[in-house]
């Protein structure tokens, strides 16, 4: 066990865990930020996507020892009131079905639009390809990203 100082959603946190503990576990179990979901644990589904210094990463693959001194944002910290343009577009297009994958989808989409405010269909597919949705909401996800791209 060791102590790690973290910067999550603009707040400082300190946790005492094994250095190999995945960031996802710390978010959910230690910090109770349960918006980030566990899907596969092996980098295959994207349900655990968070922002790491502004880029989308799979938090199940980041050991907590690599997370110190970095800026981490989870779905809870994306906006004050759920009013990020991507979240608004999600509502407008009624994207979620069961909802399980959606935090990861939104975090991947917001990172995409930050780097590329006006992505083509092919660019959206390329980036979002690794975020699996068992309910098949892919068409609505793409439509919501397209409409958010006009506003970010």
Asked if residue 2 binds ligand FES (CB under 6 A), the reply is: no
Q: Does 38 bind ligand FES (CB under 6 A)?
A: yes
Can residue 133 be called a binding residue for ligand FES (CB under 6 A)? yes
Give me the least distance between CB of 91 and ligand FES, in Å please: 14
Count of residues in contact with ligand FES, rule CB under 6 A: 23
CB closer to ligand FES, 83 vs 134: 134
Alpha helices in 96-137 (DSSP H): 102-115, 121-128
**Does residue 145 belong to the site contacting ligand FES (CB under 6 A)?**
no
Pick from 115, 125, 134, 150 the residue near ligand FES by CB under 6 A. 134
Least distance (Å) between residue 128 CB and ligand FES: 12
Considering only residues 9, 65, 97, 147, which one is a binding residue for ligand FES as defined by CB under 6 A? 97
| Tokens encoding 52 | 């790491």
138 part of the interface to ligand FES, by CB under 6 A? no
51-73 per-residue burial string, b: 16 or more CB within 10 A, e: under 16: bbeeebbbbbebebeebeeeebb
Q: Which is nearer to ligand FES, 2 or 98 (CB)?
A: 98
Integer Cα distance of 37 and 40 in angstroms:
9
The yes or no reply on residue 96 touching ligand FES (CB under 6 A) is yes
Bridge-based pairing state of the strands 49-52 and 71-73? antiparallel
Task: Give the whole-angstrom CA distance, residue 11 versus residue 26.
Answer: 15
Radius of gyration from C-alpha coordinates of the chain: 15
CB within 8 Å of 111: residues ≥ 6 apart: 51, 54, 55, 56
The contact set with ligand FES (CB under 6 A) reads 38-41, 43-48, 58, 60, 96-102, 133-135, 137
């Amino acid at each position: 066990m060791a102590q790690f100082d973290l910067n999550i959603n603009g707040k400082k946190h300190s946790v005492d865990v094994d250095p190999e503990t995945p960031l996802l576990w710390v978010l959910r179990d230690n910090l109770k930020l349960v918006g980030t979901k566990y899907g596969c644990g092996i980098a295959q589904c994207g349900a655990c996507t968070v922002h790491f210094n502004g880029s989308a990463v799979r938090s199940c693959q980041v050991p907590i020892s690599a997370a110190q001194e970095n800026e981490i944002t989870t779905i809870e910290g994306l906006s004050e009131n759920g009013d990020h343009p991507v979240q608004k577009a999600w509502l407008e297009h009624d994207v979620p079905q069961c909802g399980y994958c959606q935090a990861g989808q939104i975090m991947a989409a917001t990172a995409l639009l930050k780097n590329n405010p006006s992505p083509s269909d092919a660019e959206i597919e390329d980036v979002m390809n690794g975020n699996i949705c068992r309910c098949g909401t892919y068409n609505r996800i793409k439509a919501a990203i397209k409409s958010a791209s006009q506003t970010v």
